[in-house]
Structure 1
């Protein structure tokens, strides 16, 4: 059996504001359909996750935190 690639790190918390998993950055729909998505599409999604996570969860360096 071929193992399906996955960005899951078993920190499955969906952020209510962004709708993204705080562990891997996928949307609820992506998570639900992950095993039905072709490998090429999964790989494409996984290349986008670091930037998606950075934009969603990293504080803006230009903003001052009080």
Structure 2
């Protein structure tokens, strides 16, 4: 289990499931990812965030932070 503070929801307030992709038009999560967010562990949330980054990149919706490589913090 990671020692990170609780990861907040990636919701952007544009909550509409797209007909074709069945993803939220704002955050690009599936219904199950949205539904399960509150009870998900931080480790599971990190996995969802990694998937969301891939979805944003596939759609060409990347931010500057998406393009920066991330380093994992080493355990003591």
TM over 0.5: yes
Larger relative contact order (Cα-Cα within 8 Å, sequence gap ≥ 6): 1
Query: What secondary structure is seen at the aligned counterpart in 2 of 1:14?
Result: coil
Structure 1 stretches of 5 or more lacking a match?
59-66
Number of aligned residues:
56
Root-mean-square deviation (CA, aligned residues, Å) is 1.8
Q: Which moved more, 1:32-41 or 1:43-52?
A: 43-52
Q: 1:41 is matched with which residue: 40, 44, 60?
A: 44
Query: What secondary structure is seen at the aligned counterpart in 2 of 1:10?
Result: coil
On the 8 A contact 2:13/2:26 being kept in 1, the answer is: yes
Matched with 1:62 is none
TM value normalised by structure 1:
0.70
**Pair 1:17 & 2:20 matched:** yes
On the 8 A contact 2:6/2:42 being kept in 1, the answer is: no
